[in-house]
A and B are shown apart, each in its own frame.
Chain A
């Protein structure tokens, strides 16, 4: 059970892309156990942009880690198209991340020794064998994020916003179903943050990606078509927003 204040049904009635049932995560910290998540039941559909909000320690990042297969729940199940990823081996979990998940981090996490193009190629090569496909994908995605002119620059030669756009291109290079974004605008200025959010919005609405966006910034909640609020490891509310606003129209 959860503490959701809304019984609003998901956007689609088809089988969920991700289905969490009774998920709990407890961290052992010396003699005391810390419960990061408790009794979480959630279902995410294809094409959703879910904004996850909550104060520090509410369990946002833990939820993101569990969704991305970076961690395993202490109890409960996380089914991806019916397959419980909590029971996968490390090797299969790695493959799950490789084939289905795109990560976008607050600090971009680009590989500093690779150029923008190579960062995207790095991810593309994980799922593509053909050299031509890798090249074409990198070219297309850098064009999509508006960085085709800067593709041969190293991360240190790019601004924060440009780095985050490269990170998004890299996340898309594997053509994942799910984008997990941890404070993607947290380290960016307002204007650049707006651009990144617009990009994420278009990826969900136009390309059908499911995007889980974790943030402290409640001002960006309206851009999503669903808002999830966590508190003390539990889902406090789960609200559908049937009329998301354009990223360009939000301010903070």
Chain B
């Protein structure tokens, strides 16, 4: 190939520097987002793995009622057991700064050595010493929230009253990287929940459980054989009332981090893919117009002997330059941002052991993808250039024309049946004059709309989910949990508290639900069938009270999906060493999963749990009564925790607010993209119509007329994209939400009318703004020269 033709590559790019600059920006954005998110989430994943590995995270844990500590040595002797820990885990109350009562999970650890399994990482201060009796180690999230430091004192609620404990150090725990109290409350806020590590002997003594354990954590040598090992461990613990066994991937914090990572990885693929698809559209449009504009040059080159390969190579080289520039910028920016994102993420989640390793694969993929996208997009225009016959190519380009009446119906619709004004005719016909270009422009704008709908509908779905969960499902105001089963007298005591208008007993206990080969850990929530403080939204309707009375179970959507069961199916529920086969009476659409609802009578009759309750759902007379009722409940014997629903709701919203940052990031990207696309299209439109526009100005058309015609054309393109963009966005968002469902949380999909209006308005505004440079160009046009432009 001759070098002269390639000299034109640089000149072509420089001549259209703003247009090609916009293309480079779009490709660069796609690559930057891909590299940033891919590298960051890979490093975050590695950081999690490193933390789990270095803290010897349990492969499985088994909760039991109570077993002698000596069983640990028996388990240690089992095959495939590499390490084991037996400990007490007790939920109780704690007085946080400001005399605020919060839920505390107390975990016993040896004071003379580090835990063999589920070790902790000291962030500030020191680990426990054998001389420590009344010392504890709060997790970092709680300490940060309340501004605690070593030396501060906290009061722990015990059967013998409040006891002072001094903070020896502040720690991170692999079990609470996300402060998940349980699968049902996996986004607990440190405002109301904290985890504290205490000397095991002191904890046992404080709660009268000397020499006992209620949880065993095991690390296995061969992970492939962990199920057999678990069976063996359950065999040893069977006499002591096995409640539930949990594999590491189901451990609430780890499951939540995995879900989070999975979401991030999907995001890291989907978002760049969409941006690059838009980039491909834009490159196709720009290259097509370049070929169109250079017909005579192409004809000349063909006439003097340049071959097909040289012509195709010329245009592909331009695309390759765009790809290379976009990839270089995108990789540099994306890689730089990935470190910032990893650090910010690790800091937000208190990941103690962060890994930021160099990754070559995303860079390589970034380069290849940008090249692939650009070359594929330019291939058709390049091929069409190579196929031009020299003689026809060297003739002045035929005007792009319309056939008679081509757009008259559309115009009439806009003009309500009358002959439309000239401005409307000029604007609309320019939309139709190049249908393929219009199609790709509309396609690209639709993709920008699609991304915006995904972004905004995520907000809608979050708000809808929160409203549904805390408005329709949870109808109680305050909920109390007890460490042991309570009777009628306690219920009467609660009902007598000032401000309580209704109190309903519940019984919660961990269980394993199994259907076929699918199994999951759930919290059984037994209630009276006639209860009113939990609202069910049953698929296909039905009366929840009747279902519960019939002895059937109601599952939240997430759990039903996980087990693959629906109404009428049967499943096995195991707890405390007993298994019952129960029919699924209904599936309830609710956000929080990890639960299974049944009646108190079924719990007692089928699963042999004692009569009584260990939780209360309470309705108060008014929100102002919530805190006094909470304080009064804490006065009751055996109370392990009291939650106010409004606080939970606020906590939930705060956690989701972190997520919002990423969504706003997407929204900003979409706006830039929509603007870049339209800027590109309108620039092309104006450049190739310079003579036409200059003629209008020469005839005496005002700048206002030309500007209005261009804005009208942009607006028409935008309006054409609105419907498909909103529809596709809704479908894509619905699909994405479905992929974010898990057994313990279901985001309920919802798009508000406001979202459609806002998204359409934002894109149309971006479109109009990006038309302004073209208008300015027309305003400054040299009319004498422009009226002679041929192509």
Which residues of A pack against B, CB within 8 Å? Answer: 61, 65, 68, 70-71, 94-95, 97-99, 101, 103, 105-107, 109, 111-115, 118, 121-123, 125-127, 152-157, 170, 174
Residues of chain B with a CB closer than 8 A to A94's CB: 697, 700, 702-703
Instruction: Give me 9 other A-B pairs in contact (C-beta within 8 A), A109-B695, A125-B422 excluded.
Output: A65-B784, A70-B783, A71-B783, A103-B699, A111-B426, A123-B700, A126-B699, A126-B700, A154-B403
Complex Cα spacing A156 to B404, Å = 10
A156 touching B700 by the CB < 8 A rule? no
Complex CA gap A113/B429 in Å reads 6
- B378-404: CB near A (< 8 Å → 1, else 0) gives 000000000000000000101111111
Indicate if the CB atoms of B700 and A152 lie closer than 8 Å: no
Minimal Cβ-Cβ distance residue in B for A62 = B784
For B429, B700, B784, the residue with the greatest tally of chain A CB atoms inside 10 Å of its CB is: B700
Which chain B residue shows the least CB distance to A158? B401
From residue A102, how far is it (CB to closest CB) to chain B in Å? 8
Residues of A within 8 A of B769 (CB): none
> A70 and B790: CB pair below 8 A?
no
What's the minimum C-beta distance from B405 to chain A, rounded to whole angstroms?
A: 8
Give every chain A residue within 8 A of B429 (Cβ-Cβ): 113-114
CB neighbours of B784 from chain A (8 A): 61, 65, 70-71
**Contacts of B422 on A, CB cut-off 8 Å?**
118, 121-122, 125
B698 close to A (CB within 8 Å): yes
* Complex Cα gap A111–B695 (Å): 8
Identify A114's interface contact among B396, B426, B790, CB under 8 A. B426
> Within the assembled complex, what's the spacing in Å between the Cα atoms of A157 and B405?
13
What are 21 A-B pairs at a CB distance below 8 A?
Answer: A61-B784, A94-B697, A94-B700, A94-B703, A103-B699, A103-B787, A107-B396, A109-B692, A109-B695, A109-B787, A111-B692, A111-B695, A112-B399, A112-B400, A112-B401, A112-B692, A113-B402, A114-B426, A121-B422, A156-B398, A170-B699
Quick one: which of A61, A109, A174 has the most chain B CB within 10 A?
A109
Query: Given A114-B429, A118-B425 in contact, is the A103-B698 Cβ separation under 8 Å?
Result: yes
Once the chains bind, are B692 and A68 in contact (CB under 8 Å)? no
Find out whether the CB atom of B790 lies under 8 angstroms from the CB atom of A153.
no
Q: Report chain B residues within 8 Å CB of A123.
A: 699-700
Q: How far is the CB of B531 from chain A (nearest CB, A)?
A: 70
Task: Kindly state whether residue B680 has any CB partner on chain A within 8 Å.
Answer: no
Residues of B within 8 A of A174 (CB): 699-700
CB neighbours (8 Å) of A61 from chain B are: 784
Which residues from A are CB-within-8-Å of B699? 97-98, 103, 122-123, 126, 170, 174
Q: From the candidates B402, B426, B691, B701, name the one contacting A154 in the complex (CB within 8 A).
A: B402
B696 within 8 A of A: yes
In Å, the complex CA distance between A72 and B692 comes to 22
B426 cross-chain contacts in A, Cβ below 8 A: 111, 113-114, 122
Interface check B430, CB cutoff 8 A: yes
Q: Is B46 close to A, CB under 8 A?
A: no
Q: How far is the CA of A206 from the CA of B412 in the complex (A)?
A: 40
Q: Judge whether B433 is part of the interface by a CB distance below 8 angstroms.
A: yes
In the complex, what residue of chain B is closest to A96 when comparing beta carbons? B700
Determine the chain A residues whose CB is within 8 A of the CB of B399 once the complex forms. 112, 155-156
The answer on a CB contact under 8 Å between B401 and A154 is yes
